[in-house]
Amino acid sequence: ICNSFGSFAAKDPNELHMISSEDFKDNMKGILSGARAVDLNSEIEVEDSTEWPDPIPFNDYESKEIPVEILPDWQQDFARNLSDFTQTPVDMSVLLILSATATALANKAVIEIKNGYQEPFNLWTCTVLPPASRKSAVFKKITQPIVDYEIEQEEKLGPEISMAKNEIEIMESRQKKLQKQAVNSDRPTERQDILEEINRIDMDIQEKEIPKLPRLIANDITPEKIAHLLKNNFGRLALLDSEGTIFKIMAGRYSSDNQVSLEIINKGWTGSEFLRVDRVSNPSITVKNPAITQGLTVQPRIFEALKQKESFKGEGTIGRFLYSIPESNIGNRLTGDEVPGLRQDIYKRYKRGMQVLLNTEPKEEKKEEWEPMTLQLSPTAREIRNKLAADIETRLGPEGDLCFMREWGGKLVGNVTRVAGLIHIAAQIDADSGRSDRELFNKPITGEAMQAARTLAEALIPNAKKLFDLLDTDPKTSLAKYVLDRIIKGKDMEEAGELPEKFDGKEAFDRNILLKLCRGKKEIQKPQDLKEPLKLLEELNCIMRVGRESTGGRPPSDLIILNPKVYAQYTQKTQKVSDKKTSVPFVDKVDAVCKNKTEDLTGVIEI
């Protein structure tokens, strides 16, 4: 790539300007006056150019890392260590830990904002990462306490469930026997007595409660099956899935011919909408307060499919999630002995804390529903929330930066309130002893918890902008972004001396090399497929194409020159990733403190 040429005058910017190699060198000398060009079989050596115009941005919103410090210390330490151990972005761990906390607390309490307005404790989070990002490893560690809880409850309640079922079977057998007697009896008085006995047994059966085995986690599931699980689990359920299966279901089946009903899922976000599912072949299902928690990781291509589903966007499902789109660190991860291990003391502390949350109880347990506790806001927390609400409302206006994603921004304050509640409750857990305050739900949400949730919101807004921009981006623009990424990749290859072809004995980047780098992209199979993306990139001042004179035979492909300002922006981003790779892992920092107890912890761990 010739990455630092100045502006090149062409009669028609949409037509390739063919020039000879000598004319090319003369033009570069005359135009650039201080530019530094690649040596194209010449002696040209000049300084870096400042002649290039600024590239017109793609609305590329730069995602912001989620601050792990928002979590209580026992969750924060685990998130850091897990991120180091799996060499994954800490954003994924933070959001999944919040979803796991919501799984443990859903329907046990609500947050009262004012009379008639409450927020539940369930939460929807989604982290967008490419394949091979080790999502499953992170999921397994974070959800393990929930799985352990389900197994523990099965062992505990198994005998009680068997006994209750046996008693009901005996009563049902008694009913059938009495029904036969009533049928065979010729005396009306005797039949009436038998009928009364049958009704008494029926009431006993209805009042007999079979303990419910908690089924808190599901992933590959249909919306109709979700309703069944909600009914059997006091209205709560968590869709925690490292493959984002629910999005795949939506993307693959949400069409005019075969629609997936999102009503069940959407009502599960609200946490207070009455749910009734009627099917011809199945009994009616009713759930008073369905509360669905979601913690998903998906690949970017899932949203590429969803962006075509206007009906899906219209349902508002996508606006209910808190999103993170961290920069992938694949290719920059530590390997071998450089990777720190999973600290068992930190992991056990996390599991003890989660067990406490999972064993908390609602205000009252009825037959199939829970009456939740009511959590209040402290004056400071209310003030912080009110200021956030006023700020977000302004930004949702016609001139605001959240105007184009109102379906998400309009739910942000509610989501922040939920996060504040989760952080507030988790902060009161003594994860070392595995205990909690008996007045866990009676203490108002603190200002510290609400401020932590607001800090999270400030980090999530750029991520949501990036996601909604992806959904609204025209396919031609998306393809141009991809091609620019491949051009930058070619620049990196040139710097490393790894270009697959050469021009005039010198390494240079042309359309043929770009076509090879785009191999695997179904929209780009032949040179002609690059015409429109390259044209758009030129119009945006990202690249310049320079034609080469044929010396006989097949005409050479045009040379592609990258705007150095574009590459400089890319270099700054990659440098951040490189800095993260060379930074000291969190566990090593903790070890350093342990070896020198007089050293202040905050002086070792970067906050």
Q: Describe the chain by its helix, strand, coil percentages, rounded to 5.
A: 50, 10, 35
pLDDT tops 70 at residue 150:
yes
The angle at the Cα of 98, spanning 95 to 103, to the nearest 5 degrees, equals 125
Q: CB of 6 within 8 A of CB of 533?
A: no
Measured CA to CA, the distance from residue 391 to residue 404 in angstroms comes to 16
Segment 164-184, tens digit of pLDDT: 788 888 888 888 888 888 888
Of 197 and 503, which is predicted with more confidence? 197
pLDDT tops 50 at residue 151:
yes
Work out the pLDDT band at 357, boundaries 50, 70, 90: very high
In the predicted model, what is the mean pLDDT of residues 591-599? 45
Which structure tokens are listed for 371?
């009456």
Which phi-psi region, left, alpha or beta, contains residue 365 (left: φ > 0; alpha: ψ -120 to 50)? beta
Which structure tokens are listed for 330?
């694949």
Which structure tokens are listed for 381?
């927390």
Q: What is the helix (H) or strand (E) element at residue 535, kind and residue range?
A: helix 531-539
Residue type, 599: E
Q: So what's the pLDDT on residue 215? A: 85
Segment 472-510, tens digit of pLDDT: 767 788 788 889 988 888 888 877 777 765 544 445 678
Q: What is the spatial order of strands in the sheet that 543-548 belongs to? A: 18-19, 543-548, 559-562
Measured CA to CA, the distance from residue 173 to residue 176 in angstroms comes to 5
Segment 281-290, tens digit of pLDDT: 667 778 888 8
pLDDT tops 50 at residue 44:
no
Q: So what's the pLDDT on residue 576? A: 57
Q: Which residues contact 569 (CB under 8 A, 6 or more apart)?
A: none
| SS3 label, residue 106 | coil
Which structure tokens are listed for 119?
């927020």
Of 77 and 595, which is predicted with more confidence? 77
Q: So what's the pLDDT on residue 124? A: 96
Does this model's pTM top 0.85? My answer is: no
Measured CA to CA, the distance from residue 124 to residue 411 in angstroms comes to 11
543-548/559-562 β-pairing: antiparallel
Q: Which residues contact 98 (CB under 8 A, 6 or more apart)?
A: 71, 123, 125, 295, 322, 419, 422
Q: Which residues contact 477 (CB under 8 A, 6 or more apart)?
A: 58, 536
End-to-end, the C-alpha distance of the chain in Å comes to 40
Q: So what's the pLDDT on residue 232? A: 84
429-430/435-436 β-pairing: antiparallel
Q: Which residues contact 86 (CB under 8 A, 6 or more apart)?
A: 134, 137, 138, 141
Measured CA to CA, the distance from residue 486 to residue 477 in angstroms comes to 14
What is the Cα gyration radius of the chain? 31
Residue type, 383: E
In the predicted model, what is the mean pLDDT of residues 121-138? 94
Which structure tokens are listed for 329?
């660190």
Contacts 24+ apart (CB under 8 A), 395-402: 401/465, 402/461
In the predicted model, what is the mean pLDDT of residues 361-365? 88
Measured CA to CA, the distance from residue 161 to residue 165 in angstroms comes to 6
Measured CA to CA, the distance from residue 441 to residue 227 in angstroms comes to 28
pLDDT tops 60 at residue 300:
yes
Q: How far from 366 is each of 211, 235, 441, CA to CA, in Å?
A: 12, 12, 19
Q: So what's the pLDDT on residue 313? A: 59
Q: So what's the pLDDT on residue 310? A: 57
Measured CA to CA, the distance from residue 241 to residue 169 in angstroms comes to 38
CB neighbours (10 Å) of residue 71?
25
